[in-house]
Structure 1
C-alpha cells in the first residue's frame, strides 16, 4: 500500500497539452501574418522568427511530456494515447516551421491567392486543435464530449476543404504558370500547407479515440 502511495501519479499531461496547443495556434497566427505581409521583408523575417519561437517552445513541451511518461506510474489516459497525441501535435508545428523555411530557401517571389487560402484553412485547423485539447480533462461532462466530437468534425471538414483548394491550385498552377522554377516552388508550398491540415486531422482522430474511450 505504501509503495503505491509513493509512486508518481497523473503528471501534468493535460496542462502540457494545453501549452502545446497554444504554441500551435501562436505559430499558425504568425505564419498567417507572414504570408499576408510577405512583400515586406522586415515583417516577413519578424513573423518567421515568431514561427520558429513557437516551434522551439513546443519542442520543450513535447520533451517534458515524454520525460513525464517515463517517471509517471499512473497516467490520466493511456500512455500510448499520450505519446501519440503529443507527437502528432508536434508534427503540426514542425510543418509550419518547414513551410516558413521553404519559402525563404526557395525565394518564392510572391504569395498567390491559393497560398493565402491554404494558410487560412491551416490556421483555422490549428485553432481548433488548440481548443479541442483543452476539453480532454472534462470528459465526464456529456456536453464537453459533444463539443469535442463536434470540434474534431470541424477539423475533418477543414482538411477536406484544403484538399479541394489544393487540387484547384495545382490545376491552375500547371495551366497558367509559365516559369518552371516558380511552378516547382509553389507546388512544394501548396503540398506542405495541405499537409498541415492532414496532421491536424491526425490529431483530431487521436482526440476522438481518447474521447470515445474515456467518456
Structure 2
C-alpha cells in the first residue's frame, strides 16, 4: 500500500508529463483579435476616403490582408487543438470562440467586397456611424479576449464581464442605427438600386456588431465556467 512513497514515478505520472499541454491558445486569440481590429479600422478608413478611388482600393486591400492573417491564426488554432491533449479551457469553447471571432473578420471583408461589387456611389452618414460602431465593438472585443488568460483572478473576470456588457450595448446601438437607416432609406431614396445596395451594407455592418456580441457571450460563458 506504500509502494508509491519511495518517489518512483508511476506510469500515470510519466504519461501525464508526456501529454502535450496548454498550447499558446490565449496568445493566438490575442493575435486574431488584433487582426479583427485592423480589419475594422481599414474598413472605416475605406469609408472615410471613399471618394478617392486609390485610397479606397488601398484600404480594401488592407481589409483583405487583415482577414487573411486572421484566417492564418484560425488554421493554427485548429492545428494546435489536434495536437494538444490538455487545453487551458474546454476544447469546444476554444473551437467555437475562434470560429466566431473569425466570422467577424469575414464579415468586415464581405462589407468591403459588397461595396466594391455593388459599385456603391455614395457613403451615407449611417454607413459612417455603423463603421464607427464596428471599430468600437472590435476594440472592446480585443480587450475582452486579452483578459481571458487571467480569468482565474476575480477582478480580471469582473473586468472581462464588464467589457462584454459594453459590447452588448454597442450591438444595441448599431441595431438602433440600422433601423433608423432602413426607415430613412425606404422613405427618401427614389432609386431602387441604391436601396438594394445600401440595405445590404447596413445589414452586413450591423451583423458585425451582432457577431462581436456573440463572441462576448462566449467569453461570458468561459468566465462563468472557469471562475
Q: Do both proteins adopt the same fold according to a TM-score greater than 0.5, normalized to the shorter chain?
A: yes
Correspondence for 2:156: 144
Aligned-residue Cα RMSD (Å) equals 0.6
Match of 1:10 in 2: 22
The C-alpha deviation readout for 1:77-115, integer Å capped at 9, x for no partner, is 000100000000000000000000000000000100000
Aligned equivalents of 2:126, 2:139: Cα separation in 1: 20
Pairs within 5 Å for 1:100-179: 100-179=112-191
Q: Which residue of 1 aligns with 2:195?
A: 183
Q: Residue 212 of structure 1 corresponds to which residue in structure 2?
A: 224
| 4+ residue segments displaced more than 3 Å | none
Deviation of 1:140 after TM superposition, in Å, equals 2.0
Structure 1 residue 72 corresponds to structure 2 residue 84: yes
Paired position in structure 1 for 2:59? 47
Whole-Å Cα distance in 2 between the matches of residues 40 and 83 of structure 1? 40
**2:9 maps to what in 1?**
none
> Across the two proteins, how many residue pairs are aligned to each other?
215
2:104 is matched with which residue? 92
Structure 1, unpaired ranges of 5+: none
Task: Tell me by how many angstroms 1:143 deviates.
Answer: 1.4
2: CA distance, partners of 1:122 / 1:69? 29
Could you tell me how far apart the structure 1 residues matched to 2:143 and 2:31 are? 11
Equivalent in the alignment of 1:19:
31
3-state SS of the aligned residue for 2:50?
A: coil
In structure 2, runs of 5+ residues without a counterpart are 1-12
